[in-house]
């Protein structure tokens, strides 16, 4: 099922830290210098409207997220900078405080309509929910985050984000988004678990001079794909959705198998789905 809807966007803007932040240069680790990490990762989240009698500003998700984003960028100020490449293709982040790209939008659709159309990847409407701002797709000298908040007719909204993968992994962006979420809910500052990000990337640098004790295949040139590798046009993407009941049933079955084999212990959700 397909759904046709229109998204009206305001002009993209840069949201910087709400208060002055250090103007400095920070080195990324040798691990993050890998060519395979120099790309942007998109994801999209859908939220239902909460209702209630909030004020116009408090009830506007774009305004709330924009304000929380500026506050969160104070402790997470490297994300408001720009990546540069120095000698030896070494990556550093120039903490300029220029800000992240933010797009406010509105769609003439309801969340129920999006759900009925199938909220699962690949999203055919991803380009509407995350607008590719001209000049924003570079790894170097470009904003490190692109965020679009799209209001829906039902009061819900869509939060879409694209991040420069060299800056953080899934755990890192989740920590940052937790800080944004806490500030959006009204906290004056993020809780201790997310308020003070730890950089410390120098501990992952090679020694000077380097003294490798085993081969680091991750830095080897990537070999070309074999001739039998199927072309992208012949590949088919499928999404498999597991609800809480499905996950619980898989865990129960896996626990029984572990028990009979003498393994014991509870399986995590990741282990259960990977084994399935």
Is this prediction's pTM over 0.85? Answer: no
List the CATH number of the domain containing 119: 3.30.559.10
Regarding whether 14 and 140 lie in a shared domain, the answer is yes
* CA distance linking residue 175 with residue 37, whole number of Å: 19
Regarding whether 271 and 137 lie in a shared domain, the answer is no
Mean pLDDT, residues 92-119: 91
Mean pLDDT, residues 97-109: 96
3-state helix/strand/coil string of 221-271: CCCCCCCCCCCHHHCCCCCCCCCHHHHHHHHHHHHHHHHHCCCCCCCCHHH
Looking at residue 162, what is its pLDDT? Answer: 95
Mean pLDDT, residues 51-76: 79
Q: Is residue 136 part of a domain?
A: yes
Looking at residue 56, what is its pLDDT? Answer: 43
* CA distance linking residue 247 with residue 184, whole number of Å: 31
How far from 263 is each of 14, 259, 274, CA to CA, in Å?
A: 53, 6, 17
* CA distance linking residue 40 with residue 60, whole number of Å: 28
Regarding whether 114 and 28 lie in a shared domain, the answer is yes
Q: Is the dihedral of CA 102, 106, 110, 115 positive or negative?
A: negative
3-state helix/strand/coil string of 109-151: CCHHHHHHHHCCCCCCCHHHHCCCCCCCCCCCCCECEEEEEEE
Q: Is residue 90 part of a domain?
A: yes
Residue 167 has which token pair?
Answer: 């800056």
Regarding whether 119 and 186 lie in a shared domain, the answer is yes
The confidence band for 258, taking pLDDT boundaries of 50, 70 and 90, is: low
Regarding whether 169 and 44 lie in a shared domain, the answer is yes
Q: Is residue 152 part of a domain?
A: yes
Regarding whether 271 and 171 lie in a shared domain, the answer is no
Regarding whether 128 and 49 lie in a shared domain, the answer is yes
Q: Is residue 127 part of a domain?
A: yes
Most confident among 40-49, 187-196, 259-268 (mean pLDDT): 40-49
By residue range, what is the domain housing residue 64?
Answer: 7-204
Looking at residue 189, what is its pLDDT? Answer: 80
Regarding whether 255 and 133 lie in a shared domain, the answer is no
**Residue 58 pLDDT greater than 60, yes or no:** no
Q: Can you name the residues that pair with 161 across neighbouring β-strands?
A: 43, 147
Regarding whether 261 and 176 lie in a shared domain, the answer is no
Looking at residue 167, what is its pLDDT? Answer: 92
Domain total for the chain?
2
Mean pLDDT, residues 219-243: 76
Looking at residue 33, what is its pLDDT? Answer: 83
More confident residue, 176 or 203: 176
* CA distance linking residue 250 with residue 238, whole number of Å: 20
Q: Is residue 217 part of a domain?
A: no
Regarding whether 250 and 199 lie in a shared domain, the answer is no
Looking at residue 142, what is its pLDDT? Answer: 95
Rounded to 5 degrees, φ, ψ at 130 are: -140, 90
Mean pLDDT, residues 118-132: 81
Boundary-marking domain end, from 204, 234, 261: 204
More confident residue, 193 or 29: 29
Residue 108 DSSP SS3: coil
Regarding whether 200 and 106 lie in a shared domain, the answer is yes
Q: Is residue 20 part of a domain?
A: yes
Q: Is residue 219 part of a domain?
A: no
């Amino acid at each position: 099922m397909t759904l046709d809807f229109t998204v009206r966007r305001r002009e993209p803007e840069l949201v910087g830290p709400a208060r002055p932040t250090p103007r400095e240069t920070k080195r990324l680790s040798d691990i993050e210098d890998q060519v395979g990490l120099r790309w942007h990762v998109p994801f999209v989240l859908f939220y239902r409207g909460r209702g209630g009698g909030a004020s116009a500003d408090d009830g506007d998700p774009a305004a709330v997220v924009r304000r929380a984003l500026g506050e969160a960028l104070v402790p997470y100020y490297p994300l408001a900078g720009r990546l540069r490449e120095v000698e030896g293709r070494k990556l550093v982040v120039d903490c300029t405080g220029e800000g992240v790209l933010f797009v406010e939008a509105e769609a003439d659709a309801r969340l129920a309509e999006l759900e009925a159309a199938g909220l699962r990847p690949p999203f055919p409407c991803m380009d509407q929910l995350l607008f590719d701002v001209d000049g924003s797709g570079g790894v170097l000298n470009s904003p490190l985050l692109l965020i679009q908040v799209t209001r829906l007719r039902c009061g819900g909204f869509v939060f879409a984000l694209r991040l420069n993968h060299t800056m953080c992994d899934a755990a890192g962006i989740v920590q940052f988004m937790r800080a944004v979420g806490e500030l959006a809910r009204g906290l004056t500052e993020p809780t201790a678990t997310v308020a003070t990000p730890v950089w410390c990337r120098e501990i992952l640098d090679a020694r000077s001079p380097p003294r490798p004790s085993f081969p680091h295949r991750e830095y080897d040139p990537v070999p070309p794909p074999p001739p039998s590798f199927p072309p992208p046009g012949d590949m088919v993407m499928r999404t498999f959705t597991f609800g809480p009941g499905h996950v619980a049933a898989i865990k129960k079955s896996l626990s029984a198998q572990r028990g009979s084999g003498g393994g014991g212990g509870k399986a995590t959700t990741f282990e259960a789905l990977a084994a399935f």
